[in-house]
Each structure stands twice: as C-alpha cells, then as structure tokens.
Amino acid sequence: MTASRDPDRLIHAYIQEGAEHLQDRVYDAVRAEVDRKRQRVVIGPWRTPIMNRITAAGLGVAAVVVALVVGIQLLGPPAPGGTGAFPSAEPSATPTPSPSVASPSASPAAPPALTETFTSERYGFSILYPAGWVTRPATEPWTSGIPDFGKNDGDVIYHPTLQGDLWIMVASQPQGGKGEDQWVDDLLTELISEDFCDTPLEDVTIDGARGRECASSGAAVSAGDRGYLILPYVSGDDPAVGVTYDRAWFEEVLATVQLQPEDALDVAPSASP
C-alpha cells in the first residue's frame, strides 16, 4: 500500500462523507413532543435549596431595608420649608406594611417519617420510605445508561402528588468483571457527564458496602460483585420541596438501605460503554 492510498487517509476521507441535512419532518416531530412534554429539572435536593436559603435570606434582608427606608421617608418629619419628597403626606398616613420576609426556609415542613419498607425482588435491596409514597418496581434490567424516572430499569419510589418531581431510584447490576472501584468510578463518570452528579465526591458506606457519593445527589456502592446506584431527585420548581427533602433527609434514607446482592436477579453484564 503506497502513501497515496494510506488507509488512515481513506478512513478520514470516508467518514467525512454522508448525509448532513436533517429533514423538516424530524424537527416537526420533535416540536410536537416538546409542546406535549414538560421539562424536568435535575437538581440535587440540597444544592438548590441551599442556594434558595441564601437567596431568600438576602432577599429578606433587602426587603426589610427597603421597608425601613420607605417607612422612615413616609413617617419622618417633613423637610424644612415643606418641600420634602412627600409633601402630600398626611399625619394620618399609616406606614406602608413591610413586605413579608417569610421564606420557605423559615419554617420548613418536617419530612414524613420513613415508616414503610420496599424490598426489591429484582435488585436485591430493601429501603425505608415515607407512608403514602408510591413504589414502582423495575420491569427491565438495568444494563446501560442511567436509570431514570421515565424509564423502567430502576426501582422508583415517588411522592404521590409530586411524582416525577420528587423520587428516589435504586438499581443494581453485576459489575461485569470490573473491580469494585472501577465500576463505581465508571458509573460516577457517567453520572457526572449526564449532569446527575456534582463534585467533589465523598466516600460513602451503605450497609457496609463502600462507594462514592456525589456532592449534589446520588451514591454508587459496590457490594460483592454487584454495583448499586441510589439516586434521589427533587425538582427545583418548588424550592419549598427541596427545603423539606434536603440532604439530611436523603442521608436518613440512605441509612435505611440494606443490600442483599445474593437475592438479586442476575442480568447480563453492563453494556455500558
């Protein structure tokens, strides 16, 4: 093979070729779905609420300052010569009520107690969850990607009314010959790339199994030759929800997880890239 028929050049040249125009009907189909589907917010249950607390506190302080300034101006003595900013202010004028500074963080509702038990027949674990929440066991094995509320490859426990806005998902799979650390690292790499996981990561132990926990959400641990993913989700649409179901609550849930990898239904090794 001569340099002029260099296989690398052939490969490169051939990969440049191919269709490069997406048909309008595809855009139309996407648009129809977009009009029908609601956007989902994937935000760690503690990052946004923490931000909201700070923001709410800041806004509260600002509101008080504004209220004080306005109140002083309204109630204060008129400027000499009666040419003040509010010449028409009557002695009977009542102070402007200051805006409410109550914030969702001021009195967060206590999260419900974890009184119910879900035992996974597919993935080999049990977990406690609040009364009234709905369980939806996986109907398909988790073999690739990240299990999600909209998919059927994770055991999902969700809030009865908030549904896709507040849930916990657990799934497990054989490690497919990977070492414990490698499986956890690979999964976290994928979680991070999919924006499900904020760094820095922290070591975590769940029911004696070692793994890593994201700063924002989710934990991956390895038990024997089986890897587990526990992924909570709280929508940022309603900050009050995130205040109630905060990181401390998730840690409480994590502490109830019991892993029984020997009870899991084995599936083919992960096909994840």
Partner 1 sequence: MQVGLVEQAQRGDAEAFDSLARLVGDRCLAIAVRILRDIDLAEDAVQAALITAWTELRALRDPSRFEPWLHRILTNACYAEAGRRKRWSEGLRILPGTSSDTPDDYLTVDDRDLLERALRRLTVQQRAVLVFHHYLGLSISEVAARTGLPVGTAKSRLHHATRALRASIEADSRATPHSQERLA
Site for partner 1 in 8-37 (CB under 8 A): 8-23, 26-27, 29-31, 33-35, 37
Q: Which of 52, 47, 41 is nearest to 215 (CA)?
A: 47
The structure tokens listed for 128 are 């406690």
- Output the DSSP codes for 55-124: HHHHHHHHHHHHHHHHHHHHHSPPPGGG-SS-TT--TTPPPPPPPP---TTTSPPPPPPEEEEEEETTTT
Whether 267 and 124 have beta carbons less than 8 Å apart is answered as no
Question: Cβ of residue 98: shortest distance to partner 1, in angstroms?
Answer: 30
Q: Which is nearer to partner 1, 40 or 136 (CB)?
A: 40
Whether 174 and 166 have beta carbons less than 8 Å apart is answered as no
> By three-state DSSP, how is residue 33 classified?
helix
Site map 191..230 versus partner 1, x via CB under 8 A? --xxxx----------------------------------
Q: How far apart are CA 265 and CA 207, in angstroms?
A: 19
Question: Cβ of residue 151: shortest distance to partner 1, in angstroms?
Answer: 11
Site map 153..192 versus partner 1, x via CB under 8 A? --------------------------------xx--xx--
Q: Which is nearer to partner 1, 17 or 262 (CB)?
A: 17
Q: Which residues bind partner 1 (CB under 8 A)?
A: 1-2, 5, 7-23, 26-27, 29-31, 33-35, 37-43, 144-145, 150, 185-186, 189-190, 193-196, 236, 273
